[in-house]
Amino acid sequence: MRGTRKYQHVIETPDPGKWELAGYEESLPISEKSNPITRELDKSDPSQLVQLLRDCDAEIFQEEDANLIHYHRLYSESVLQTMGDIAKRVQEVLKDPEGGLVVLSGCGTSGRLALLLANSFNLLLKGQHRAPRYCYIMSGGDRSIVSAQESPEDDPHVGAQELEKVCEGKKNVVFVGISCGLSAPFIAGQLDLCMRHLDVYLPVLVGCNPVSMARNDPIEGWHSSFRQVAERLQALHESHKGFILNPAVGPEAVSGSSRMKGGSATKILLETLLLVAHKADSNVPVTEKCLLEILRTYERAHKVTYSQSKKIAALMKQTATSLQKGHLYILGWGTLGLVGIMAAVECGPTFQADWRDVRGFVTGGYDSIENKEGDLSSLGPEFPISHEDFVRNVLPSVSETDAVLLIFTLDDELNQIEKLAALVKEKTSNIQCISHATAGQYLPNSLKKTIPSIIGMTWPILFLEYEGTFIQKFQRELSTKWILDTVTSGAYALRGKIFRNFMVDFKITNSKLFHRAASVLQRVTGQSQQRCTEVLLQSIYGEQTLSEQIRNRTIAGHVGAAASQDKVLPVAIVSLLRNCAVQEARSRVDSSASIRAAIESSLNVPGRKRGAEEGSGSEGRSR
Ligand code: F6P
């Protein structure tokens, strides 16, 4: 039975999931649990995949249920209250012309979102002829915008140093550390710095787990775990010296893939509260009503987006086919280009994709994304990101096996888009587009002729004077993010890169991912934690007998060794399921049609005992 149901929902949100019940994968935080909705993700066809991902995304807007474990949700009073409190503090910073700064910081997708948001709100200020007040930090620096850099996430010292650098001379800083899983040491280091200098900083942590589920394993070479930092911050909540904004949004559709719902929720939470802060800046009081008004526009965006489910499924199917031998190129206009890059980059760490497989390009390249370090094109072949770079470096080798996706709004240069589409069509007929229009705007017939496969989104005109244009921009970005998350994750599921709803072929490039690998191994095989760690190490080092020297290495040491290996987790899974040496497991994985097929056939080996926890929905790892 539903809880309070205070608000009339724009979309029909699903009933509270089984994951909320006590005992469901108890030792795992929500962000790492496997979502009961997507248990059969790997067996689904494109239409089913879109439906499942749509339902998972809808959980973001689900209200808390008084009859189940008490998780705070997006619409919970405590969450709205915290958003309002933070907005008021941002408002103060906006009024401080000299010493005020809002810093947004994150790792991976969370860092890219920090950049996107900082740019949006500086643009909003620019429109009012005011100086920029926002800046971003991402672990690994600007190169992480287009190339996945997971290991810098593990360093709390560098996190703190980076924060000190950007805040030099500032006296009034709102620091927003984003870690969806409440897990990144980089962010822990920054929050710790803020809490040691509360006269300057207001620390805010944004994520999607309760504090009691924050990561608690020791951070190597540092004094606290993430959870200890979060607990210290929680203690500051009452005195308003620090805040934690952490509604539960349910487990990810692909377990642990926090770029998906975690990223979307981050965008919704921060854009809403910052917009309200700006509104308040023009002397409108911060109220729950203001927050709700904006939150509901995101719910609407979910409805508008998934009303195109059939076409999204077709795009996913085409992408999966192209990825067999070819590539997916995403060419976006304006900030939609950055959203495309965000989706493309994460395919590497999540699915072991080569950087050439899915690539994003944006009009104007680095000039348009306004990153701190400027043009990074010279760093290597994966760094040129403008449309000109695409035409010059990539288009000549594009063929029928490749797919090209154009993403734009009808306010963009349609002539340019048509020209580029015509050039692409000379190379491949697999050209599709996502176009965003405002009610009353129509795609020109000539463009429709050039690109017959169009996912056309029409957004209602918003009569919210001041922030209306920004809300529309945010809706379009989120809608594009939802489509691209769905298309890329679904395409890789169809390519056999997912088993049940576990990512099973990811790169082990930081400590979180090492623990995730061990946890997935336990959940798939039902074996003990100790045995799983042993076999994971055998797979990393390619040795059946582990020397004392290897056993004594730190997690960072294991991560360093794993970074140069591929298929570490699939080999470990097959080795455990078949009770065979890792060498044999590797040759089985290598000769299988897909990673999923290798696991599935190993599960069905005659005489293999089913693990106690296998398929039961219970969990493995404890932290
Ligand atoms: O470690 C890689 C990664 O999982 C990315 O995929 C993700 O975007 C990033 O970490 C950030 O995670 P979080 O926001 O939970 O710290």
Instruction: Say which CATH superfamily domain 77-246 falls into.
Output: Glucose-6-phosphate isomerase like protein; domain 1 (3.40.50.10490)
User: Where do the structural domains in the chain lie, given as residue ranges?
Assistant: 18-60+297-499, 77-246, 504-604
Residue-level pLDDT at 459:
94
Nearest-CA residue for ligand 1 atom 1 is 150
Is the beta carbon of 485 within 6 A of some atom in ligand 1?
Answer: no
pLDDT value of position 612:
41
Q: pLDDT per residue over 359-404, tens digit each? A: 999 999 999 999 999 999 999 999 999 999 999 999 999 999 999 9
Q: 């009034």: which residue's tokens?
A: 172
Judge whether 38 and 56 are in contact, CB under 8 Å.
Answer: yes
Instruction: Please give the pLDDT value at position 95.
Output: 87
CA 9 to chain centroid? 24
* 144 in contact with ligand 1, CB cutoff 6 A: no
The CATH number for 18-60+297-499, chosen from 3.10.50.30, 3.40.1280.10, 3.40.50.12620, 3.10.110.10, is 3.40.50.12620
Q: With contact defined as beta carbons under 8 Å apart, do 106 and 178 qualify?
A: yes
Non-local CB neighbours of 356 within 8 Å, separated by 6+ positions: 327, 382
Residue 592: the pLDDT is 96
Nearest CA to ligand 1 atom 16: 179
Q: Cβ(180) to ligand 1 under 6 A?
A: yes
Helices (H), 383-467: 387-389, 414-425, 445-450
105 lines ligand 1 (CB under 6 A): no
pLDDT along the chain (623 residues), means of 10: 56 74 90 95 97 96 78 94 96 86 98 98 90 96 95 96 96 97 98 98 98 96 98 96 97 97 98 89 76 93 96 97 96 98 96 96 96 97 98 97 97 95 96 95 91 92 74 96 98 97 94 96 95 97 94 95 93 97 97 96 77 42 33
Atom of ligand 1 lying closest to residue 513 CA: 1
Does ligand 1 have an atom closer than 6 angstroms to the CB of 32? no
Q: What is the pLDDT of residue 10?
A: 72
Determine contact, residues 205/244, Cβ cutoff 8 Å.
yes
Is the Cβ atom of 575 under 6 angstroms away from ligand 1?
no
Q: Report pLDDT digits (tens) over 28-54.
A: 999 999 999 999 999 999 999 999 999
Q: How far is the CA of 115 from the centre of ligand 1 (A)?
A: 15
CATH of 504-604, one of 3.40.50.300, 3.30.1330.30, 3.40.50.620, 1.10.8.1080: 1.10.8.1080
Q: Write down the pLDDT at residue 623.
A: 32
Per-residue pLDDT reduced to its tens digit, 561-591: 998 899 999 999 999 999 999 999 999 999 9
Nearest to 435 by CA among 420, 416, 449, 448: 448
Half-sphere exposure (Cβ direction) of 573: Cα atoms closer than 13 Å: 29
Pocket test for ligand 1, best of 30, 32, 146, 180 (most atoms within 8 A of CB): 180
| Closest residue CA from atom 3 of ligand 1 | 108
Asked whether the beta carbons of 146 and 111 are under 8 A apart, the reply is no
For ligand 1, whether the C-beta of 586 sits within 6 Å is no
List pLDDT tens digits, range 199-249: 999 999 999 999 999 999 999 999 999 999 999 999 999 999 999 999 999
Distance 108 CA to ligand 1 centre (A): 5
Query: Is 512 near ligand 1, meaning CB less than 6 Å away?
Result: yes
Give pLDDT, residue 563. 87
384 Cα: distance to centroid of ligand 1 (angstroms)? 24
| Residue 168 burial (CB count, 10 A) | 6
Assigned token pair, 66:
């008084």
Encode 244-272: b = buried (16+ Cβ within 10 Å), e = exposed: bbbbbbbbbbbbbbbbbbbbbbbbbbbbb
Instruction: Please indicate whether residue 155, judged by its CB atom, sits closer than 6 Å to ligand 1.
Output: no
428 with 404: CB under 8 angstroms?
yes
Total-model pTM: 0.95
Q: How far is the CA of 30 from the centre of ligand 1 (A)?
A: 14
Domain 18-60+297-499 matches domain 504-604 at the CATH topology level:
no
| CA distances, 61 to each of 100, 295, 482, 486 (Å) | 33, 9, 14, 18
pLDDT at 609: 58
Q: Is the CB of 109 under 6 A from ligand 1?
A: yes
Give 97 Cα–ligand 1 centroid separation in angstroms: 34
